[in-house]
A and B are shown apart, each in its own frame.
Chain A
Amino acid sequence: MQRIQQENPLQAKELRLHSLFVRGLEGDNAAYRSFLQDSAGHLRAFLRRRLQRWPDAVEDLVQESLLAIHNQRHTYDPAAPLTSWMHAIARYKLIDWMRRHGRNGALDMTLDDAGELIADNDAEDGAATAGRDLAVLLATLPDKQRQAIVATRLDGLSVREAAALLHLSEADIKVSVHRGLKTLAMKMRD
């Protein structure tokens, strides 16, 4: 039974992503990075299949979905299938995008998850770009949120170093990063 499960590619992907994600939630940043990278490829395939008429939007939505997965990661129940949770988020972001852009039809939402892996091999594209600009988006954030994100996430400072640099408490830094990423998700929808 176990051997058969291992041979099922969807099951193998689920197990791999789940293990990386759970380790990431426990503070293993290397595992979390691998999870995000694998997820980006997986989501790219998932979205590409559903956005055949708007290929330019795929990467925008990969990014929105990744950020949503990160921001909403506390809603994941480790006992539930991770890929179902991720697909539900990506599907939500897709429908949200469709509604915002006044587009409908052409969406084949009936594809089940088992069909997702076929296009997955050509989905590894780390340098893929979206139409939006991260620097421009970051510039629209409130100062405190932007500074906390730039210090801890782009300049590579630890939370303690960032707190000293910005004259804030460590808790303040963490909250500002958290709020800033939430704001960033809302800005991506504009």
Chain B
Amino acid sequence: MMKTENLIDLLAAGGEPEPGVARRAALWPLLAGILVSGAILLATLGPRTDLPQAGLLPSFWIKLAFCLALAGAGWRAVKRLATPGASVSSLPWLVGGSIFLLWLLAGVALLQADPAARTQLFLGSTWRYCPTLITLMSLPAFGAALHLMRGLAPTRLRLAGAAAGLAAGAMAASVYCLHCPEASLVFVGCWYLLGMVIPAGIGALIGPKVLAW
């Protein structure tokens, strides 16, 4: 039989945290993961050839801003969901708000477009592999995010796993913008988002297994 008092004896001698145990979540392993997969992407498939011209279009920057906003919201979610008792009430607004704004712009673009051109806005020319590439690119950062959370204390494991996937997926999508030739926000609101939802879904599935402590 184990007395609680004995356990306290075991713990009481060492309240001081061990040196080298990170108190805060550090962003750089995720960034390193993204940079590695981004470098592989750019080395193999290359950046879009018209990158300087694309940089003049608002759609390029809206696309990038959308991905970065979700990456920021995802990172915030990773930190909050890895800290017991931390408030998460802002997270649905940040994630939902970013998606809502983009869908609003995409809806306007659809309405203004010639009906015959709408399918093209939706599918572009790369819809077949865009979500897959974003998912693949997210994997190193996804692993880094899960590893980071294992060193902290997530208490809602499905949500925590989903947050790790979303953060990694959105960071990967931000880098993917450099390669992707699509200019349509309708395309972004569908296939980019899918590329982030896939890792988030995987995270929700495996969260309870890999994040339990």
Contact = CB atoms under 8 A, between A and B. Distances in A.
B85 A63 contact: no
B17 A129 contact: no
Main secondary structure of the interface of A (DSSP, over half): helix
A27 to B, nearest CB: 4
A27 B15 contact: yes
A29 interface: yes
Interface stretch (A10-18, A65-73, A102-110, A114-122): A65-73
Given A75-B84, A127-B5, A129-B4, A88 B155 contact: yes
Nearest to B19: A174
Interface residues of B, number: 32
B58 interface: no
B85 A87 contact: yes
A129 B1 contact: yes
B16 A127 contact: no
Interface size class, chain A:
35 or more
Interface in B1-22: 1-19, 21-22
A36 interface: yes
Contacts, number: 132
B146 interface: no
Contacts of A96: 212
A45 interface: no
Contact of B7 (A32, A35, A134): A134
Nearest to A135: B2
Interface in A32-75: 32-33, 35-37, 40, 59, 62-63, 66-68, 70, 72-75
Interface of A: 21, 24-29, 31-33, 35-37, 40, 59, 62-63, 66-68, 70, 72-75, 77, 80-81, 84-89, 91-92, 96, 126-134, 137, 149, 152-154, 156, 174-175, 177-178, 181, 185-186, 189
17 contacts: A25-B17, A29-B14, A31-B15, A37-B8, A66-B11, A67-B7, A72-B152, A72-B213, A77-B86, A89-B85, A89-B153, A129-B1, A131-B1, A133-B2, A153-B10, A181-B10, A189-B212
